[in-house]
């Protein structure tokens, strides 16, 4: 018997990812270091733009936005816009 999996179907993709995680093959991306996250928040609170923060710390702008958004939601620390 041959099993065909439609990878375009989200339910099947979840199944494949769950199976890979169970086998220890899928671990996701590594989180950024806590010190780096704190530095992003500190620079932002000092008025440094998100683009400048990304360039200075050699990380992507999306990472800066994600850190600041997560910081704002979970830590209740004011983040400048």
- What structural domains does the chain harbor? 34-74 (1.10.10)
Q: What is the mean pLDDT of residues 23-51?
A: 86
Residue labelled with tokens 């200075």: 56
Cβ distance 68 to 41 under 8 Å? yes
- Comparison of pLDDT for 2 and 56, the residue scoring more: 56
Q: Report how far Cα 24 is from the mean position of its chain's Cα atoms.
A: 20
End-to-end CA, the chain: 58
pLDDT score of 12 more than 70: no
Tell me the pLDDT tens digit for each residue of 49-81: 999 999 999 999 999 999 998 876 544 555 555
Q: What is the pLDDT of residue 18?
A: 82
| Residue that has been written with the tokens 């850190």 in this structure | 67
Count CA atoms within 13 Å of residue 38 on its CB side: 3
User: How confident is the model at residue 8, as a pLDDT?
Assistant: 60
Is there a contact between 63 and 71 (Cβ–Cβ < 8 Å)?
no
Decide: pTM greater than 0.85: no
């Amino acid at each position: 018997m041959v099993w065909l999996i439609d990878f375009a179907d989200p339910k099947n993709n979840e199944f494949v990812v769950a199976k890979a995680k169970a086998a220890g093959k899928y671990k996701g991306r590594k989180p950024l270091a806590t010190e780096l996250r704190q530095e992003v928040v500190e620079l932002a609170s000092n008025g440094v733009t998100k683009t400048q923060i990304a360039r200075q710390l050699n990380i992507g702008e999306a990472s800066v936005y994600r850190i600041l958004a997560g910081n704002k939601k979970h830590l209740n620390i004011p983040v400048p816009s």
